[in-house]
Amino acid sequence: MPHLLNIWPSVCRQLASAPRVLLLFDYDGTLTPIVARPELATLSDETRRSLSALAGMDRYVVGVVSGRALADLEVLVAIHGLVYAGNHGLEMRGLGMDFVHPEAPAFGASLAEVTRLLERELMEVPGILVDNKRLTLTVHFRNTPDSYGALVDSTVVAAAAPYVDAGQLKITRGKKVVEVRPNLDWGKGKAIEKIREECGDNPLPMFFGDDETDEDGFVAVQDAGGLAVYVGPIRERTLALHHLDSPAEVGQVLALLVQL
């Protein structure tokens, strides 16, 4: 898997040959380092300047595709002209869109009940955060001692089991998180495809991500002839064909894109 900065001249040629480029990024672990609590993840000044500059250029469409709630994402990033996709693309704003997946709101009552159960069952677990984002639910255990990891996972599985067994909800996992989501054929890959369609001119897509939930996004952009970039230490279990070591290197790429 080549390091993106090591093959930058060939990447430049590919980007330069495209009339327009769609630049999409996960947020936590990609544009910002993973931090102890979600609200502490903020963009560096350099990354913010680069994203703002790119959003102002006609040849780029720039967006953030995240598991965070859309409103949370918009407040944290707060850059005019970006496309924002929250809850793994179940809700999106930008390019004239004000999109909510038509089936997603129907799962709100089930997610609220699972949230209630988890808040009760995990009350004694130190450092736990149960975050009901209306369209999805995330249990964060980054601040929880490692010895509790299996307990947290099994508790989430048990609380969601009636809804999973009924085909309503599904469980996904990421870096120190367990998520409960509507059992819909929808994720970051489908969101990226919809954003690209809304552009109207089939721009060359480029997507940067760091976690398991980014994998279908990697597939979507590579199937469209674009570039998928995994951010973090090289691992075997990624479908992305390029990598960067850290969010700091993502910042370097952003600066290079501004100069392109």
Whether 45 sits among the annotated catalytic residues: the reply is: no
Q: Which H or E element spans position 115?
A: helix 108-121
- Residues 174 and 215: their CA atoms lie apart, in Å, by 11
Nearest to 174, CA basis, from 68, 31, 249, 54 = 68
* Strands 129-132 and 169-174, bridge-based pairing: unpaired
pLDDT score of 37: 78
Is residue 68's pLDDT more than 90? yes
CB-based contacts of 163-170 (< 8 A; 24+ apart in sequence): 163/110, 163/114, 168/107, 168/110, 169/107, 169/110, 169/111, 169/114
Which pLDDT score, from 0 to 100, does residue 83 have? 98
pLDDT tens per residue across span 40-65:
789 999 999 999 999 999 999 999 99
Q: What is the mean pLDDT of the chain?
A: 95
Distance CA 126, CA 189 (A): 34
**DSSP per residue, 160-176:** HHHHHHTTSEEEEEETT
Residue 24 has pLDDT above 90, yes or no: yes
Cα gap 87→187, rounded to integer Å: 9
Residues 148, 149, 150: CA angle, nearest 5 degrees:
95
Domains along the chain with CATH numbers: 4-101+186-259 (3.40.50.1000), 104-182 (3.30.70.1020)
Gap between the Cα atoms of 5 and 231, Å rounded: 12
- Digit-coded pLDDT (tens) for 137-188: 999 999 999 999 999 999 999 999 999 999 999 999 988 999 999 999 999 9
Q: pTM higher than 0.85, yes or no?
A: yes
Question: How distant is the alpha carbon of residue 257 from its chain centre?
Answer: 21
Share of the chain above pLDDT 90, in %: 93
User: How many angstroms separate the CA atoms of 252 and 3, rounded?
Assistant: 13
* pLDDT of the residue at 128: 95
